[in-house]
Structures are given as C-alpha cells and as structure tokens.
Chain A
Amino acid sequence: MVWDKFARGLIYLAAVVSVSIIVLIFIFVGKEALPILTSGEVHKEVTLSTMFRAQKYGTAEAPLPYVWQPVSEVPKYSLLPLFLGTFKVTIVAMLFATPLAIFAAIYTTEFAPRWLREIIKPVIELLAGIPSVVLGFLALIVLATVLQDLFDLDYRLNAINAGIALGLAAIPVIYTISEDALNAVPKAYRNASLALGGSPWQTAWKVMLPAAMPGIFAAVVLGFGRAMGETMVVLMASGNAAITSWVFAEPVRTLSATIAAELGEVVQGSAHWHVLFFLGTVLFVITYSLNALGVVLVRRLRRRLTGGA
C-alpha cells in the first residue's frame, strides 16, 4: 500500500515537473529580458522606443531609420530588419510548403492506393527526421548555387534560399497534421457524397476537405510556428545581413538567427545580452500563441465532426 502511494506521488510529481518546465522557460528567459523594461543602465543604450521606432541613424543625405548594428560605436537596436527578415523567410517557406503538403495529404488519404500510402507516409516522416543543420548545409552548398544560376541573382544567400529550405522543414509538420485531420473525417460523408452523384474529386474537395478544415488550419498554423522558430537553416542559408528591404532575393537576418549568431560573443549582463534575451522572449511568446491557436482549432474540428455548434 505504501509503495502504491509512493508510485502515485512520483507520477503526479512528474506531471508537476512538466508544467514547471514551461513555466521555468518563461521565467528564466524572460528574467534576462526584463532589464530592457526596468533598468536605467540598459536604457542608456537601448529602450523599447529605440527598438521599435524609426531612429535617426545614417546621415541627412542618406538616412537609415532602421538599423540593427549592436556592435558598433553607436549601438543600433532597431528590430524592424529582424522582423522583416523573419517575415520574408517564413512567407517564402509557407508559400512553398503549404500547397505541396496539403495536396499530398489529400492524395494519400483520398486517392492513393493503400500500399502507396503506406510508403509515402513514412517517407515524409523521414523528411521530418532530417536535422535542420543538414538542410541548412545543403541549402548553402547546393541550393544557393542552383537558385543563383537559375534566376541570375545578385546574392547567393538570401531569403528565397533560406525560405525554400525552411519549407522543407515545415512540410512534414503540415502534411502529418493535415493527413490526420482528413483521416478523422468519417467515411460516411464520402459515401453520402458519392451516392448523390459527386465525383471523387468533388467529394474530396467539397466534403472531406471542408470537414477537416480546422485541422488543416491548425496544420498550417503549426507549420508557420515551426518555420518561424527555426534557427540553423536560416543561420546557414540566409546570408545573415540585417537589411531593411522588401526584396526577397537579398540576404536577411531573422530573430532566431540573430540570437544564435550573437549570443556567443556578447558580454553577459550587457545591454546587448538583455536585448538578445528579449528577442528570445518575443519569439517564445509568438510561437506559444500560435501553438495554443493550433490546439484550439484541432479541438474545434473534433467538436464539429461529432455534432454541436
């Protein structure tokens, strides 16, 4: 009896630990970011305002309102180039990955013969197992050259290059969740549609896919979160230049890559250090929210398919 209580306690303790981990992450990353808001010392170098609003860098003839250059005589901490870089790379990745992954999921759940599905599904899961450092490596060594030759680009390493490699990392996420969502739709709907004279494609596109829509949406949201948070791929393949521009064929710097690239050389406790942790907190909050949204959507899918509003 004693052992039983002990075992029970151990199990509950494990559950508590899992909750505390995520709390700890938030606390310990956030605590190093806090001085941005509170410390006067830090404010001499950087404030929320200097991070988010246009500044007077550059010269009167060549003004540069947004510059990220923490290591220089006058440290500059505009976040806009970083947000822009993250956005560009993530958009490219999503535009590339989403149609491919969703269409492939439709194919394997609705049209592919059983044996083919059993091959394609594990293959795409294998794609998920490729370490991002390997994807980054290939993007740098192979893809960049291919793209540059194909489109006659000025820069080898740019947002498109990193975006495509990032898309490769996002495809398995979007595919797997979409496939699960489509599979969860009861076959009775397919039968009903076919019995009404719907063709196989009409059935898939107008009945099965809409029924699975919350799950598909969740897949896209989670894929987006994955792409946003990726570090190694962008670190290796995006050129790592914090440029403020809407051109996609130029190098970029993302939030995650900035942290990774600069944390190694920053002085602990300096303003730069705190800014990097601030970036980490921002990244954490955004992906956390996206994740929570994804979970809500999946729950809604389940409710929709089993009656209810």
Chain B
Amino acid sequence: MTWRSVDKVWIGLTALAAAIIVFMLAFIVGNIASNGWAKLSWEFVSQAPRGGMTEGGVFPAIYGTTLLVLLMTIFVVPLGVCVAIYFSEYADRTGWLYRASRSAVDNLAGVPSIVFGLFGLGFFVKGVGAAMDKTLFGNELTFGQPAILWAALTLAVLTLPVVIVSVEEALRAVPQSFRDASLALGATKSETIFRVVLPHAVPGVLTGGILAVSRGAGEVAPILFVGAAYFLPHLPAKLNDQFMELGYHIFVLTTQSPDVEQTKPLLYSTVLVLLALTFLLNLTAIAIRTRLRWTSGGGR
C-alpha cells in the first residue's frame, strides 16, 4: 500500500499550505482586533485627533476617506460599466479597438500603485490642474496643487479594471434569450442593453463598485502626493481641498510619530477601523457575487 502513504503525505502538505494561509489571515485579523478594540469607541470615530495624535479620534480621516471614495465612485462606475458593455455587447473580437482596450485594461490592473501616484501628480495636478489654473483662474494656484478631486480621479483610474471585470462577468451571465426576445419585439440594441441586460446585471455592478471602493479606501501610495495630508484643521469642503485619510494616517503615524509607544493604541484602533471597513465591503461583494453565480445557472 505504498501509494496510499505517499499520497497521504503529499495531500497533507497541500492541506497544510491552505491551513497556513488561513491561519495567517486569522492572525492578522486577531492581532488587530484584539489590540485595536481597546480604544474603539463612539468618541473615537466621531472626534478629531488631539494631543499630537495620542488622544481623540479619527473622524476627519473617516470623513476624508468616505468623501474620497464617493467621488471616485462617481467617476469609475459609469466609465467601467460603459467599457464592460463595450466588451460584452458591442466589441468586434478581431478589431483593433477591442484588442487594444482589452490589453489596456488587463495591463492597467498590473500597474504599480506608486506609478499611479506619479501619474496623478504629473497628469492631473501638474497637467490638467495647472492648465485649469492658467485658463480659468488667471494663473492663481487653485487646481494645480494636491486636491481631493485629483486623488479621486487617480483612484478611479486605478480601480477601473476591478469594476470592468465584475460588470463584464455579470453581463455575460445574462442569457442570450433575453436579448433575442427584446430585439424581436422591435427594441434597438442600446434599448435592449439599458432596459433588459443591464438591469439584470445590477448585482455585478454593485459588486464591482463595492470592490472598487474597498480597494480605493485601502490604497495609499497613489494619494501620497496628490491630496492626502496628515493634519488639517478643517474638513475638506471644496473639490480642491486637501483631506485626511485613514490609510495615509496610519502610514504617517506608524513611520513618523516621535513616540510610537504612545500612539500605538490609537494606531491599532485606526487600523481596525480601516480593516473592518474593507472587510465588510469585500464580504458584501463576495456575498452578492456568490448569489449571482448560483441564481444564473449554477456555480462552479
């Protein structure tokens, strides 16, 4: 029975690998939850930081993050849906536009986040922003500087592939018979898409949006120089304001605070808030996507 014992060893190793990964995740969550729980309170999420970041809360960062991803969503979801519709409904597979945009979206997913930061700085801030200043604001520095608008646009570009993948999957899952029926009744192609296909794919749009938000809330490198700030006395109110942000806050606190031990409790709690936020979003998206897979013809 030697094959049995050999098999058992190898299969055991593969199971061990899976277990190790799961364990590491559990450790991460556990460590943050247990250390961050202490300082978590209503006060924490509703107040601004005080005392050199050793007391108070992180409300401005939460507000800034929320505003940021909201703006981002406004830009990325419509664009992502349109590109997904192109891929799924209109594209000619052999045409150059399809191949170029397919390749572009695939590669966009692999661009390092700091390069997005450079892009945000070089194109949005120093390019579009400076041009706007010159033409609309009489050379006064309004948009040619780090601003929440540019940060939102930079993140929109970064999360575009996420939205496209999700929406395209949902569109492809819509049965062809729906389209046929609609067209047979005299509807145009765009009517069919917007009245029949897209509504059926709404869960996919939701999933895409949620995953994009989750990703956008967690990325720090792209916004390092495009709008995030460590401490601001007021909340962002205009599109060209800077803003505080959870991830950025964690980064600066961790690496640049003079006394890490003092700020550690607050730091852990901030991390917990960010982690809880992204987890909640991810779990929701996974749940929606699983439901979508089961209802449209069996999962894997």
Identify the A interface with B (CB < 8 A). 1, 3-4, 7-8, 10-19, 21-25, 28-29, 31-32, 99-104, 106-108, 110-112, 120, 122-127, 129-138, 140-142, 168, 171, 175, 183, 199-202, 205, 222, 225-226, 228-232, 235-236, 256, 259-260, 263-264, 268, 276-277, 280, 283-284, 287-288, 290-292, 294-295
Taken together as a complex, chains A and B put the C-alpha atoms of A8 and B92 apart, in Å, by: 13
Nearest CB of chain A from residue B130's CB, rounded to whole Å:
11
Contact A295 B25 (CB under 8 A): no
State which of B28, B114, B247, B286 has its C-beta within 8 Å of the C-beta of A133.
B247
Contact B25 A123 (CB under 8 A): yes
Query: Chain B 222-254, CB within 8 Å of chain A: the 1/0 string?
Result: 001100000000000000000000010011001
Chain A residue, CB-CB nearest to B278: A129
Question: Given A3-B190, A18-B160, A263-B121 in contact, is the A107-B14 Cβ separation under 8 Å?
Answer: yes
Question: Given A4-B190, A283-B115 in contact, is the A14-B254 Cβ separation under 8 Å?
Answer: no
Instruction: List, in ascending order, chain A residues with CB within 8 A of B13's CB.
Output: 103
Chain B residue, CB-CB nearest to A199: B3
A-B contact pairs, 20 of them (CB 8 A): A3-B191, A7-B194, A15-B98, A21-B157, A25-B116, A28-B127, A123-B21, A126-B25, A127-B24, A129-B218, A131-B218, A138-B28, A141-B264, A183-B300, A201-B11, A202-B3, A231-B113, A232-B247, A264-B225, A291-B110
Contact B221 A12 (CB under 8 A): no
Instruction: List, in ascending order, chain B residues with CB within 8 A of A131's CB.
Output: 217-220, 247, 274-275, 278
Contact B101 A18 (CB under 8 A): yes
Which 8 pairs show the lowest CB-CB distances between chains A and B? A229-B112, A131-B218, A14-B82, A7-B190, A103-B17, A291-B110, A107-B14, A129-B282
Contact B14 A123 (CB under 8 A): no
Instruction: List, in ascending order, chain B residues with CB within 8 A of A199's CB.
Output: 3-4, 6-7
Contact A11 B85 (CB under 8 A): yes
Instruction: List, in ascending order, chain B residues with CB within 8 A of A129's CB.
Output: 214-215, 218, 278-279, 281-282
Instruction: List, in ascending order, chain A residues with CB within 8 A of B100's CB.
Output: 19
Instruction: List, in ascending order, chain A residues with CB within 8 A of B157's CB.
Output: 21, 25
Instruction: List, in ascending order, chain A residues with CB within 8 A of B194's CB.
Output: 7
Q: Which of B117-163 contact A (CB under 8 A)?
A: 117-119, 121-123, 126-127, 157, 160
Summarize A's interface: helix, strand, loop or mixed: helix
Contact A130 B278 (CB under 8 A): yes
Contact B82 A11 (CB under 8 A): yes
Contact B21 A136 (CB under 8 A): no
List 17 other contacts, CB 8 Å, given A104-B21, A120-B18.
A8-B90, A14-B82, A15-B87, A15-B101, A18-B101, A19-B100, A28-B127, A111-B11, A112-B15, A124-B22, A125-B282, A201-B6, A229-B111, A229-B113, A231-B112, A284-B112, A292-B107
Taken together as a complex, chains A and B put the C-alpha atoms of A165 and B67 apart, in Å, by: 30
Determine if B202 is an interface residue (Cβ-Cβ < 8 Å): no
Determine if B42 is an interface residue (Cβ-Cβ < 8 Å): no
Determine if B106 is an interface residue (Cβ-Cβ < 8 Å): yes
Chain B residue, CB-CB nearest to A290: B110
Contact A8 B189 (CB under 8 A): yes
Contact A24 B119 (CB under 8 A): yes
Residue among A15, A102, A290 with the highest chain B CB neighbour number at 10 A: A15
Taken together as a complex, chains A and B put the C-alpha atoms of A229 and B112 apart, in Å, by: 4
Question: Given A222-B110, A232-B221 in contact, is the A111-B127 Cβ separation under 8 Å?
Answer: no
Contact A4 B32 (CB under 8 A): no
Contact A132 B220 (CB under 8 A): yes
Determine if B38 is an interface residue (Cβ-Cβ < 8 Å): no
Contact A15 B97 (CB under 8 A): yes
Instruction: List, in ascending order, chain A residues with CB within 8 A of B4's CB.
Output: 199
Chain B residue, CB-CB nearest to A284: B115
Instruction: List, in ascending order, chain A residues with CB within 8 A of B117's CB.
Output: 231, 259-260, 263
Instruction: List, in ascending order, chain B residues with CB within 8 A of A124's CB.
Output: 21-22, 25
Instruction: List, in ascending order, chain B residues with CB within 8 A of A122's CB.
Output: 286
Contact B110 A225 (CB under 8 A): yes
Query: Chain B 76-107, CB within 8 Å of chain A: the 1/0 string?
Result: 00010011011101110000011011011111
Taken together as a complex, chains A and B put the C-alpha atoms of A202 and B7 apart, in Å, by: 8
Q: Which of B187-207 contact A (CB under 8 A)?
A: 188-191, 193-194
Contact B279 A288 (CB under 8 A): no
Taken together as a complex, chains A and B put the C-alpha atoms of A62 and B157 apart, in Å, by: 48
Contact B123 A4 (CB under 8 A): no
Nearest CB of chain B from residue A163's CB, rounded to whole Å:
14
Taken together as a complex, chains A and B put the C-alpha atoms of A293 and B4 apart, in Å, by: 39
Taken together as a complex, chains A and B put the C-alpha atoms of A232 and B218 apart, in Å, by: 11
